[in-house]
Structure 1
């Protein structure tokens, strides 16, 4: 059975982690499939928005440590980075969603731990049920978050809170996660909320939406001077496009 299920509903793709009996614990096969599905979506101009979710009782309990560490050669092979992308297989499974021009919304329920949390953080928005919980779990296993969490955590919640969650590996509930900015909003029905948001975004220009995502991704930690240059470079094609349509 494919561990990642893809459904296309009109102009929206819904991507579900599908190891429900294992709380969607991430395997190397699953990470590769996440990357493959993201690249498939990237090449589909008819797909305007994406929802990431998990089947079963949890979004994801994180990396399947027992299954993954039982294959040290596979871990070593997938740990090496691709020189062109700058990511290894573990990192690309998350960052591939950040690379998409389409906005990505994570609908979270149950546990969202470790690598599962890093996957959710790679989305542009996160809605979570009130009873969901979150943990930067890696330190419990003598590891650090290494699936792009260093980039996303500090950007979303600040350095001190990122270190606090990482060093303690504490579990936090959805209300606390919303207060510190780890998630966008608490929702009784995160999938429904995600669908409503994607419908609203799909009414806007896909070129402007993609440009907005690219703009903020490139300027978030840039100096003001560099950000202004990126703004101009991103805006110019949109202005020219509008001018062509109005002739």
Structure 2
């Protein structure tokens, strides 16, 4: 992995950490590519029974680093091209790759969890956050929309009115409100320790049954996620390119 993403294996656990702490783990295109590669690496590590997504420094992730991502419009176009065998582009696969794994993925969240960072956390099977964590579907504040599989994840977790409200206002919500909405699973002072305790409970069960349960719900809860990802791309690309070419003028 690159310097801004680390993967560590400890017995049957995999720890994946965003590592750009000085930028609140703002996501670059390279980090998105690394997230895809990291998910594949975890999948290849057959001993893994649980995965933890974390962020080093003061935040889980402040979302996509717009300035960095829009420096190269051609790179945006390349990363927007969907993989025909997956139905996702790089932005989307950086999140949805964690849904494809056969093991539970738990996001331990602190600080800011905004935009693409929130969409990454939503792609985990469970989210445990500190009481002071903040959440925002931040994209409209930057003239964009949630397009990193956020529409599918939000549809599974909360009502359509709340999904529209969060997306259209880009309001920040605290952990207590996020739990009420269903954005997060639980609140804990030490979310990683709580995530590890949850993993202990899950991995005590037959791993084949756990994998089957995960995929059953993911595949039946939203039957049209692939079509939804195509709609995300169609709505987002002109917005991103407008920002990219505006920067170059």
Aligned-partner SS, 2:119: helix
Partner in structure 2 of residue 138 of structure 1? 139
Distance (Å, rounded) in 1 between the aligned partners of 2:222 and 2:114: 26
Other-structure match for 1:204: 205
Q: Deviations over 1:62-85 (max 9, x none)?
A: 000011111111111101111111
Q: Which runs of 5+ in 2 are unaligned?
A: 224-249
The whole-number CA distance in structure 1 between the counterparts of 2:103 and 2:95 is: 15
Q: Which has the higher contact order (CA 8 A, sep 6+)?
A: 2
Matched, 1:63 2:48: no
How far the C-alpha of 1:221 sits from its partner, in A, is 3.9
> Distance between the aligned counterparts of 2:42 and 2:200, measured in 1?
17
Length-normalised TM-score, structure 1: 0.88
Partner residue in 1 for 2:87: 86
| Secondary structure at 1:45 match in 2 | coil
**Rounded Cα–Cα distance in structure 1 between residues aligned with 2:48 and 2:207:** 10
Task: Name 2:114's counterpart in structure 1.
Answer: 113
2:246 paired residue number: none
Contact 2:152 2:222 (C-alpha < 8 Å) held by counterparts: no
User: What is the alpha-carbon root mean square deviation over aligned residues?
Assistant: 0.9
Can you give the 5+ residue segments of structure 1 that lack an aligned partner in the other structure? 223-247
Higher-Rg member (1/2): 1
- In the alignment, what sits opposite 2:153? 152
| CA distance in structure 2 between the partners assigned to 1:221 and 1:68 by the alignment | 30
- Alpha-carbon displacement from aligned partner over 1:146-168 (angstroms, at most 9, x marks no partner): 00000001210121111110011
Taking structure 2 as the reference length, what is the TM-score of the superposition?
0.88
Aligned pairs for 1:17-96 within 5 A: 17-96=18-97
Return structure 1 stretches of 4+ with deviation > 4 angstroms.
none
